[in-house]
Each structure stands twice: as C-alpha cells, then as structure tokens.
C-alpha cells in the first residue's frame, strides 16, 4: 500500500489495514507504522481490524492504545492469507453475536439460513419441495462437477479429494495445494467474522467445531475462487505447489477486494438481506437494554447478593 492513510473500506462502518515488515508503536494519541522509509500515523480510533503480517513488531503501549480504541489486532500470514491469533477487539456490542445465537436457536430460522447458504452457492433459489438431504446431494454433485471440469479445463489428473492431516506429504500435489488455499481463505473469513463480533463456532451447516461458522461462510466462495486457482497453479507446475497456491490466493483476494464482500454476505445469509448490521443504537454508541435491570427495574437475579438486614 503506497499511502497507508488511504485505508481500504471494510464497508461503510468498518475498515481494515494490513502491514508487514515494520514496527507499530505509540504515536501521540494513536499509533504509527514505522519502517526505514519513515513513520505513517494509523487512525486507530477509526480502524476495525489491524492485520500484522510477517516481520512486524508491536509495542506494549501500541497494543494498549489499540485495545482502548476497540481495534481488533490479528497476527496473520502474508497479505492476511493465514490467521494465527487475535487480540481483543472487533466491537464493544454483542448485537451481531446475539442475533446469530437467536437465529441458531430457532429451528425455523436456522433452516432458512441453511437454505440461503446453499442458494448462494448455487446462484439460484431452491424450491420449497426440496428436502435438506436432496439439497446436500445437489451440493455434493456441484462440487464434484467443479473438480471434474477444472481437471478437464487445465489438463490435470484428478483422483478425488483425499488427504491425511497427520501425513501431509502422502497427498498428491493437487490435494496439498487445495488444502493450503482453503486454509488461506479460512484465515481471512475468520478475521472478518471476529471483526464484526460474530462467533466463529456457531455454525449452521457445519457444527461442533471451533470454526464451524468460518467453514460455513468460506464454503460460499471455495468452488468459484479456490478450485480454478489451484488447478491452474498445479497445471503450471507441481513444484512448491503449497507456496504458489498461497501466493495466488493473496493476489486474488487483493485483486477482487474479497475482504469487503464477507460481512454483507454474512448478513444476507443470516437475515435474508433485511438486516443492515448492528442496531442503530449500538452503532451510535447507545446499546439497547437487554433486561429489566437495564431499563431501570431492579429485579433480583438468582446470583444477586441480598441487601444487609
């Protein structure tokens, strides 16, 4: 990025910034990015996500400032294609998380989310007569066809999606490249989910994993973005396929401004496009009351300590 003060928009309310091979330190009332070429102030109070790439260091004072500004700090791979860990931040409000839980706990609403996720993958509406088992069968066929067509297009032999996470080298170059590219997409989706205050664990199609919701959202894009990219890379050469797949993902995500698509798509699948984000009150810094105590009615709770006497 030539001018770090021209921050890319995550969307109207959120922004993100990726830096690497530099030093983040306290600067006046905010923080700054320091390299051998100079010092560039970072508007921490207006930043939702700061992604620290390889070769980046940060001071304790800078982390404290970013936390006070409620800016999520994520340690990641080159151009954000790997997600390693994160600090506090994203949002002070639980609106998105509460709505995610609310939809998950309502069987009817949850079923609608699952259908919308599949419809977004298919690019068309699913008729009410289809059962979930039929939809899953159709999705499996779509994915297999995507692999078959990519193999035919790029002239690559395809033996199926087979790999052993405990024996990485036993997989063929194509499967290793697919796994590396999928991990890159998972990292970027994970960062977006945390930034907006959703839970990565509360999934709708995938369940029971710490990253279930990450897998749900990443699967909206994998067939269209990852499959052709990886098959093209392997067709070019089978040497260093994992590294070349990661670099290709980095360039694709940057070129297509992929990070900006994720949150609108999450709202679309969760709420059918009718939800515009956090409540207006929360967005303005005025969290809405969630119980009687917040509304001024002091009703005892099971764990309240009784008054003396």
| 199-208 per-position pLDDT tens digit | 999 999 999 9
Mean pLDDT calculated for residue range 87-97: 77
Helix (H, G, I), strand (E, B) or coil at 49: strand
Helix (H, G, I), strand (E, B) or coil at 39: strand
What is the pLDDT at residue 168?
77
- The tens digit of pLDDT for each residue in 256-284 reads 988 889 999 999 999 886 554 544 334 33
Residue closest to 63 by CA, chosen among 24, 90, 92, 29: 24
By mean pLDDT, which of 3-12, 49-58, 263-272 is the weakest? 3-12
What is the pLDDT at residue 43?
83
Considering only residues 22 and 166, tell me which one the structure prediction assigns the higher pLDDT. 22
Q: What does the longest C-alpha to C-alpha distance in the chain come to?
A: 83
Whole-model pTM? 0.73
Torsion angles phi and psi, residue 39, rounded to 5: -115, 130
Q: What percent of the chain has pLDDT over 90?
A: 44
Please tell me the number of Cα atoms within 13 Å of 6 on its side-chain side.
Answer: 3
- The tens digit of pLDDT for each residue in 167-185 reads 877 889 999 999 989 988 9
C-alpha to C-alpha distances, 227 to 80, 119, 223, 304, nearest whole angstrom: 19, 19, 5, 55
Is residue 286 scored above 70 in pLDDT?
no
Cα–Cα dist 272/268, whole Å = 5
Q: What percent of the chain has pLDDT over 70?
A: 81
Is residue 12 scored above 70 in pLDDT?
no
Is residue 299 scored above 60 in pLDDT?
no
Q: How confident is the model at residue 15 (pLDDT cuts 50, 70, 90)?
A: low
- The tens digit of pLDDT for each residue in 58-76 reads 999 998 888 888 788 888 8
Cα–Cα dist 241/245, whole Å = 6
Contact 183, 242 (CB under 8 A): no
Tokens 């530099």 -> residue: 22
Q: Which domains does the chain have, with CATH numbers?
A: 16-86 (3.100.10.20), 96-271 (1.20.120.920)
Contact 171, 164 (CB under 8 A): yes
Contact 266, 193 (CB under 8 A): yes
Exposed/middle/buried for residue 17 (C-beta within 10 Å: 0-12, 13-18, 19+): buried
Strand ranges inside the chain, DSSP E:
16-19, 23-27, 30-35, 38-42, 49-52, 57-58, 72-76, 83-86
Tokens 């499959």 -> residue: 227
By mean pLDDT, which of 43-47, 127-131, 291-295 is the weakest? 291-295
Contact 233, 239 (CB under 8 A): no
Considering only residues 288 and 183, tell me which one the structure prediction assigns the higher pLDDT. 183
Helix (H, G, I), strand (E, B) or coil at 41: strand
By mean pLDDT, which of 53-57, 63-67, 97-101, 153-157 is the weakest? 63-67
């Amino acid at each position: 990025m030539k001018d770090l003060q021209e921050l890319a928009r995550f969307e109207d309310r959120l922004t993100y910034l990726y830096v690497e091979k530099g030093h983040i330190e306290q600067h006046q009332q905010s923080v700054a990015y320091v390299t051998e070429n100079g010092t560039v102030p970072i508007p921490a109070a207006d930043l939702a996500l700061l992604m620290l790439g390889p070769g980046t260091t940060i001071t304790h004072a800078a982390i404290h400032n970013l936390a006070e500004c409620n800016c999520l700090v994520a340690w990641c791979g080159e151009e954000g294609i790997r997600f390693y860990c994160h600090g506090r931040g994203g949002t002070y409000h639980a609106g998105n998380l509460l709505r995610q839980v609310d939809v998950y706990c309502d069987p009817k609403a949850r079923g609608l989310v699952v259908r919308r996720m599949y419809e977004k993958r298919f690019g068309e509406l699913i008729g009410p007569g289809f059962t979930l088992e039929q939809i899953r069968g159709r999705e499996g066929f779509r994915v297999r066809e995507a692999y078959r067509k990519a193999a035919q297009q790029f002239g690559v032999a395809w033996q199926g999606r087979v790999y052993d996470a405990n024996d990485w080298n036993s997989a063929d170059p194509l499967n290793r490249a697919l796994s590396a590219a999928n991990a890159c997409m998972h990292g970027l989706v994970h960062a977006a989910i945390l930034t907006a205050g959703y839970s990565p664990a509360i999934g709708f199609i995938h369940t029971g994993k710490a990253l279930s919701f990450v897998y749900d959202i990443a699967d909206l894009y994998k067939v269209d973005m990852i499959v052709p990219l990886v098959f093209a890379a392997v067709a070019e050469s089978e040497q260093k396929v994992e590294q070349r797949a990661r670099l290709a993902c980095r360039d694709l995500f940057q070129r297509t401004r992929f990070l900006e698509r994720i949150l609108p798509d999450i709202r679309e699948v969760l709420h059918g496009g009718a939800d515009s984000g956090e409540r207006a009150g929360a967005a303005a810094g005025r969290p809405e009351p969630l119980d009687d105590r917040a509304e001024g009615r002091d009703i005892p709770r099971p764990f309240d300590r009784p008054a003396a006497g």
